[in-house]
Structure 1
Amino acid sequence: MRFEHSKPLPRWHAGRVLHIAAASVTLAWVALFSTVAAAAESPPIAAKVDRQPLTSFASLPLLSDVRLSPDGQQIAALMNTGGKTVLMTRPVTGNKPRALLTTDNQEFSFNWIHWVNNERVLASVRFASRRDFVATVETRLLSVKVDGSGSVNLVRNPVPSGSILGNAPSQQFQDRVLDWLPQDGQHVLLQLNGPGSVNPAVYKVDVNTGERVMVKGPERLVMRWLSDAQGRVRVGLQEDDGVIEVRACDPDGKRWRTLWRSTEMKDRVWPMGFGQDPQELYIKAYHEDRLAVFTVRLDDAALPRQLRLADPHADVGGWLLRSPLTGEVLGLRSGADEEADATDETRPAMWNATWRNTLKAIDKGLPERDNLLLDISHDEQRYLIYSEGNGQPGEYYLGDRRSGELTLLAETYPDLDPDRLAHKVPVTLKARDGLPLVAFATLPLGRKLGDAGPPLPTVLLPHGGPNSHDDTGFDPWTAFLADRGYLVLQVNFRGSDGYGYAHKAAGLQRWGLEMQDDLSDTLLWATGQHLADPARVCIVGASYGGYAALMGVVKTPELYRCAVSFAGVSDLPDLIATESLYHGGLEEAERTIGKAWGDRERLRATSPARQAGSIRVPVLLVHGTADRVVPVDQSQTMASALKSAGKTYRYVEQEGGDHHLSREAHRLAFFTELETFLDQQLQPQKARD
């Protein structure tokens, strides 16, 4: 692995302190850190300049995955600077960051980091590879001391007894931590394939040496394990030809039995974790068409469910948050309740009264934001908050319950001026068949929904997934496009998650059909409101959004002036064939997209590369050669089809690029291509006061 020890890090920037009390919050400014990393700086923004610098949007976030050490004395984070990503630590009360590991993101990228004790941090990394000519993503798990020494690859390949072939094949995924064992501090439970098995076993791994001992052997069809609060493996998720079973045992490891068995998604149960009581299991399941959280007593054979949290408007998100002191479940690690008004009891996801009051005070001090509690020190006196809002890029705050202060640590996009960022406006509309849709309209600064004014050049921006959704939170793509003078339209079309089972299921096997119609209907709503200029609309997307962009100019070419696809799908039968190479891939592809043979006519009709002759407008294609989510040959095939049909297109292939634009150089190049292409095709009005 080409990680290296780094030069001293530049310092973080000026911060602020909020004084938190249950009833009130006062604001004070302090010079906590000096100027931000020189490599992350952009040229000064002159007064009354139309556009903020492209690099301010396209650069990787300055900091990500900020974590608090168990004793609350240190911070670890991933810092992006000068095209590299640095795993760094620094004392909470000092300003002397230390670089532990650095990658240039050419071969390896960081996934996440996590403190395992006050002296060691675990780091997951990923890289593109191949196994028997099948393209894969591989992960590795590293342990490193806070001074940068003692780096250990935690999964070493054993040499089979009597083998003359050398090391056994390496595990593909080596970072699936099942349990952090916080009261231990020297070991973690790691899910790895068992000896001679494709099914996972569970190992107790020493974070200092990598030595491991199997604590639960693999079992046929079980693909995921879950431990209880005492670190005992208690639940296994079994998959077999579309049948999902949740199996569990007693605390002594005996009497394994099936708790739930389902064939339909609406009947599924997702185990979340155990309470401090080893017979109390938290689960997610559908309740009145929305995902909700329940507790179940495993010592009651009837498995009655006690509803803990439900939202009539949306699926409940988040994951269990435990007290480092007692191990009890405090609530869900989730943000503020956006639906609640000032008179409501907010923070319903936080069941512990003391922490609920703390978070309610933070929500008052940082209003109109999603304030997420990330980490709590073992003495529960210090904590980390990630705060993001509509038109407000993310910020990391350090809280101190003794002093009542909440201190700004870092901004993710420090070069962006929030006062010059447009806000998303939620709107509701109906699809042509009456299905309600939640959409977001982001107007350029200076324009408001309902204002008189000329229709705007418009970008329709379908999200990826499609198992994902858009919301009011900050995202650099939307902010960038609005800054460039475009109306940006986003919609949670059928098939999007977060809006219940029926809305999600309505998108099954409807790629290019009703899912695409929802996008068209959103645009037609905007043109009917005289917001969007029907002569200047481009459809832009990534991944599934890239597919939707291409399919949009195939199915309804009259609606668009151009299309942009980053890492988009273009040939559905080929995608299904590719997915069939991976475990469970064929079943999932057939469930969500269709059967390659039985649905072949529909799949061909809704494959943009096979319908390129219908396209009438210019197309921009960008794809990375190391993409392991959507293979690069999907865009290669599309480019070839456009060329054969004599269409206008531009294809940019990013050598070594992945599905996530992990390299800053690739992000900058894509945003530059996007800006140039849209300027050429839509000619937005650039002058703004």
Structure 2
Amino acid sequence: MKSKILNALLVGTFSVASTAVVAGDQDASVSSALNAAQAATGNVDSRTIVVKAPRGKVDTAVFGKRPFMRSPVLSPDGSKIAVMMTKDGVDNLGYIDVTKPGSAPVFFAQAEEFREAGDRTIGSWRFVGNRTIVFTVLSREILGGSRSDVRRLVSYDLETKKVSPLAWDGAGGDGATLLFIDDENEKLLVERDVLKDMKYSPNPEVVEVEVRTGKVKTIMRPNVEVGSWLVDGKGVVRAGVGGDGDSGKQRLMYRSDANGTMKTVANEADSTFTGTQIIPDIFLDEPDMAYATSNKDGYRKVYKVNLKTMQIVGEPIFGVKGYDVGGLISNEQRNNLAGVSYTSTRDRTRWFDPRLAEVQKLMDEDFGKGNAQIISTNDGDTKILLYVAKVNEPGGYYLFDTETGNLNLLGWYHPVLKDYEMNPMDSIRYKASDGMEIEAVVTYPRHRPHRKNLPVIVMPHGGPFGVRDQEEFGFFPWHQAMAELGYVVIQPNYRGSGGYGKEFVKEGRKPNGYGLRMQDDLNDVLTWFGQSGLIDPKRACIMGWSYGGYATARGAQRDPDKWKCAIAGAGVYDFPMMKAYDTRAFGDFGANFQATSNDLIGISSARNTDGPWSPILIVAGLRDARIPIEQSRTLVSRLKGSGKKEGVDFRYVEQPKGTHNLPYEDVHIEWLKEAEAWAERFNPAYIASDPDKAPPVSVTLASK
């Protein structure tokens, strides 16, 4: 018997918001934009959708705008959607009543990023029952004389419009980790640090919280060996995980049921920092069995594990050739596997739930394989939220009703670019100089179709370990911004990057990896892609943020003959100074996660400022809580001490409102505009010898 979903497709009754023509500008007003999107809903078969792109060059500032809509979440009954939306560059948390088409969203909290003590912002959000939205509030405070980030839970009652703190009394630094949600009884299990005798305990407790009354009851008291708790699908605390920052040992404690005693079943250190320990993700109804991931065979796969013996049972449940799997997605009852997320060349999900697998198949057929992602469902999976986008477009969110077959546009991700297809992207594997194969994401400038001997910007990602780039428009579409200017942008997933198996990570963690062989992988981009004819390796700049900022400065210092310019943001430039900072924050073992070199001075660009450098732009946020501002100030001071001239050899931009996350539109746009100007000054995208001697005429794309 065919499902209603399939029947809807066969008889052509899909109702799709009309995205066939993108001719005008989207209204910046949240309510107007949403109303326009909903009012546009028509009966257009999604297979007839034609997407256009602006003919002229889009201004760089457009790529720095905040997302218009992000992370929508359905209520259990599917009648409402909690979502973050942007108005005038500021995030607002609210909800949409989908039973009232055309109605404006209701907002109840703004979410500007915190900078100073006392500032607050919003983290995650979700429904508890159909009447309450619970969200995380983060604040920056001065605790014990040092800057700390504090998390708390807040509830919003959709009927009374009341905003209430949840489980704040007695909570320590982190009082907002949701372990279990009981929608029917409107209760939560919350893991929180404990405040005792005016001191924060590093060992959390578990409390039950009634969201309607705010009543709190202790479920599990702190255990000196446990830093985080794990709960099964019935709301029973079944396991605890703890780690020692100095020895590196990670302990797993487990019990079979609510009446058992927690016992240690594993306690080992992972000196490779590749995540070799097994941690249960989904507790099964079978006694002592769970689903978990393990990279024991090189690549991370899904296994069934006996938690009493810590033995893997049977063959892998799921794996991806050449890539690690990511997170496990449980079913509604949280006692079985519904899906597995993973990243190959882009984010994907393998659904084991037959209903969701069928929906995914149909969406793949309509929008193209991998272009539609299921991001939220209601109870029973009758209402499904989808994020639909090709890799080079911001895309939008759609609400799919499996009972009626209606598929309606909820809103665009980007306030200006909407579903414009921008610069095309591809994943290409190149050979490093030592023979290792490296995957890189390449973004081609759409206005330069000849793709021959083009200027290039190599853009290493942050991290560096366990992180990677993929084909996507993304939250920070710097690759699109620079490609729009006329550069090929290459984002190499150099050794040490995540997703390619533990041996690939270990290659980056070797003593000759950080700042040396990993840096060579970036240089090898110029050799390989230069030989392919795509780029002119003599017209190359390097640009990155965080670790990417480090690699940029290291390239400017170590290999100035290769880079015509460098654009570094929020980087580490003095590793002895940074390791002392990390040791205080993460312990002796944890501090080794970042730099693995035996010569911290040798790989520190700020300790090697004499001699030639590529001209470098240095950008730093004054309120960066991860990389202290002293890192950038030290680099600038030592460049000056070595005779480098500001404005000639380097430029320093310190952003008073900046944090590590580029929180505001003006801060983000400043970073991109500074990068544009620096690249144009030292490595123009268009030169007289190019077959296309002038950039395309700019077009104005602005919200009304």
TM-score surpassing 0.5?
Answer: yes
Aligned 8 A contact 2:624 2:658 in 1: yes
2:436 paired residue number: 435
Would you say the 8 A contact 2:412–2:419 is kept in 1? no
Instruction: Report the CA distance between 1:348 and its aligned residue.
Output: 7.5
The aligned residue for residue 10 of structure 1 is: none
Could you say what secondary structure the match of 1:574 adopts?
Answer: helix
Aligned to 2:609, the other structure's residue is in SS state helix
Q: Does the residue aligned with 2:519 lie in a helix, a strand or coil?
A: helix
* Deviation by residue 1:285-317 (Cα, 9 ceiling, x = unmatched): 114211111122446785535521111210001
Q: Is the 8 A contact 1:176 1:192 kept in 2?
A: no
Q: Are 2:95 and 1:121 equivalent residues in the alignment?
A: no
Deviates more, 1:483-492 or 1:521-530: 521-530
Whole-angstrom distance in 2 between the partners of 1:585 and 1:66? 37
In 2, the alpha carbon distance for the partners of 1:206 and 1:47 equals: 50
Shift of 1:670: 1.5
In 2, are the aligned partners of 1:192 and 1:201 still within 8 Å (CA)?
A: yes
- The 5-angstrom pairing of residues 634-653 of structure 1 reads 634-647=631-644, 648-653=649-654
**Aligned residue number for residue 470 of structure 1:** 469
Aligned residue for 1:317, secondary structure, equals: strand
Q: 2-side partners of 1:192 and 1:670: how far apart?
A: 37
Quote how far apart the aligned CAs of 1:134 are.
2.8
| Post-superposition CA distance 1:399-456 (Å, at most 9, x none) | 11111232221111142265551122211112122211101221111445xx563x21
Q: Note if 1:64 corresponds to 2:70.
A: yes
Whichever residue aligns with residue 217 of structure 2, its letter is: V
Tell whether the 8 Å contact from 2:70 to 2:84 is kept in structure 1 after alignment: yes
Pair 1:130–1:594, CA change in 2 (3 A): farther
Structure-2 residue corresponding to 1:572: 575
Q: CA deviation at 1:131?
A: 2.6
> Quick check: 1:621 aligned with 2:618?
yes
2:236 aligned partner: 232
CA 683–339 in structure 1, closer or farther in 2 if over 3 Å, else same: closer
Is contact 2:153-2:176 (8 Å) kept? yes
> Structure 1 residue 370: deviation in Å?
4.4
Given candidates 327, 330, 338, the residue that maps to 1:321 is: 330
AA partner of residue 80 (structure 1): T
Distance 1:329 1:399, change over 3 A: farther
Alignment partner, residue 39 of structure 2: none
In percent, how many aligned pairs have the same letter? Answer: 27
Q: Which amino acid aligns with 2:439?
A: V
Secondary structure in structure 1 of the residue aligned to 2:182: coil
Q: Which amino acid aligns with 2:257?
A: P
Q: Deviations over 1:552-577 (max 9, x none)?
A: 11111100011111111111111111
Note if 1:480 corresponds to 2:481. Answer: yes
Structure 1 counterpart of 2:604, from 603, 607, 613: 607
Alignment-derived partner of residue 257 in structure 1: 263
Counterpart residue number, 1:682: 683
Q: Who is 1:402 aligned against?
A: 403
Label 1:443 to 1:452 Cα distance change in 2 as closer, same or farther (>3 A).
closer
The yes-or-no answer on 1:588 pairing with 2:595 is no
Compute the displacement of 1:588 (Å).
2.0
1:122 partner letter: V
Deviation at 1:681, TM superposition (A): 1.7
Is the CA contact (8 Å cut-off) linking 2:237 and 2:258 kept in structure 1?
no
1:193 aligns with 2:194: yes
> Structure 2 stretches of 5 or more lacking a match?
34-51, 687-693, 698-704
Q: Quick check: 106-115 or 52-61, which moved more?
A: 106-115
Cα deviation for residue 527 of structure 1 reads 2.0
Cα displacement (A) at 1:338: 6.6
Paired with 1:590 and 1:564, the residues of 2 have a C-alpha distance of 26
In the alignment, residue 485 of structure 1 is paired with which amino acid? G
Corresponding residue number in structure 2 for 1:334: 341
Is the 2:58–2:484 Cα contact (8 Å) retained in structure 1? yes
How far has the Cα of 1:213 moved from its partner?
1.8
CA distance in 1, matches of 2:356, 2:504: 34
What SS is found at the alignment partner of 2:321? coil
**Residue of structure 2 equivalent to 1:13:** none
Query: Displacement, 1:67?
Result: 0.8
The one-letter code of the counterpart of 1:682 is N
How far apart, in 2, do the equivalents of 1:147 and 1:500 lie? 49
8 Å Cα contact 1:335-1:373 kept in structure 2: no
Rounded Cα–Cα distance in structure 1 between residues aligned with 2:473 and 2:653: 27
Query: For residue 515 of structure 2, what is the aligned residue in structure 1?
Result: 512
* Matching residue within 61, 65, 85 for 2:91: 85
Report how far residue 59 of structure 1 moved: 0.4
Matched, 1:657 2:658: yes
> How does 1:285-304 map onto structure 2 within 5 Å?
285-298=294-307, 304=313
The answer to whether 1:630 aligns with 2:627 is yes
1:563 pairs with one of 559, 563, 566: 566
1 CA distance for matches of 2:576 and 2:406? 56
Aligned counterparts of 1:237 and 1:523: Cα–Cα separation in 2: 44
* Aligned-pair CA distance for 1:232: 0.6
Q: CA deviation at 1:92?
A: 1.0
| Mapped pair 1:207 → 2:211 | yes
Q: Distance in 2 between matches of 1:622 and 1:261?
A: 42
Partner of 1:138: 150
Cα deviation for residue 191 of structure 1 reads 3.1
For the 8 Å contact 2:232–2:335, the answer to whether it is kept is no
- Deviation per CA, 1:517-572, whole angstroms, max 9, x where unpaired? 11111122122223222332111000000000000111111000111111111111
Which AA in structure 2 matches 1:406?
L
With over 3 angstroms needed to count, the CA separation of the structure-2 counterparts of 1:403 and 1:125, relative to structure 1, is same
Q: Structure 1 stretches of 5 or more lacking a match?
A: 1-17, 159-169, 341-346
Of 661-670 and 130-139, deviating more is: 130-139
The SS at the match of 2:326 is coil
Instruction: Please tell me the root mean square deviation across aligned C-alpha atoms, in Å.
Output: 2.9
Q: How far 1:50 sits from its partner (Å)? A: 3.5
Q: Distance between the aligned counterparts of 2:110 and 2:305, measured in 1?
A: 44
Say whether 1:99 aligns with 2:107.
yes
Match of 2:251, SS? strand
Q: Is the 8 A contact 1:388 1:395 kept in 2?
A: yes
Alpha-carbon distance between aligned partners in 2 of 1:392 and 1:278, rounded to the nearest angstrom: 46
Q: 1:31 to 1:496 in 2, by over 3 A?
A: closer
What SS does the corresponding residue of 2:695 show, helix, strand or coil? coil
Higher relative contact order (CA 8 A, sep 6+): 2
Q: Which amino acid aligns with 1:393?
A: P
For structure 1, which segment, 632-641 or 122-131, has the greater mean C-alpha deviation from structure 2 after superposition? 122-131
Whole-angstrom distance in 2 between the partners of 1:336 and 1:594 = 26
Distance 1:140 1:252 in 2: 27
Q: Is the contact between residue 426 and residue 443 of structure 2 (CA under 8 Å) also seen in structure 1?
A: yes
Of stretches 89-98 and 366-375 in structure 1, the one that deviates more from structure 2 is 366-375
State the Cα deviation string for residues 346-403 of structure 1 (Å, max 9, x = none). x883112222112111111121434332222123211212233321214212111111
What corresponds to 1:352 in structure 2? Answer: 353
Instruction: Report if the CA contact (8 A) 2:412-2:418 is conserved.
Output: no
Query: Secondary structure of the equivalent of 1:369?
Result: coil
Using the TM superposition, give the Cα deviation of residue 266 of structure 1 relative to its aligned residue in structure 2, in angstroms.
6.1
Size of the aligned set, in residue pairs, is 640
Check if 1:283 corresponds to 2:292. yes
Change (3 A) 1:328 1:354: farther
Task: Please report how far the alpha carbon of residue 249 of structure 1 lies from its aligned counterpart in structure 2 after TM superposition.
Answer: 0.3
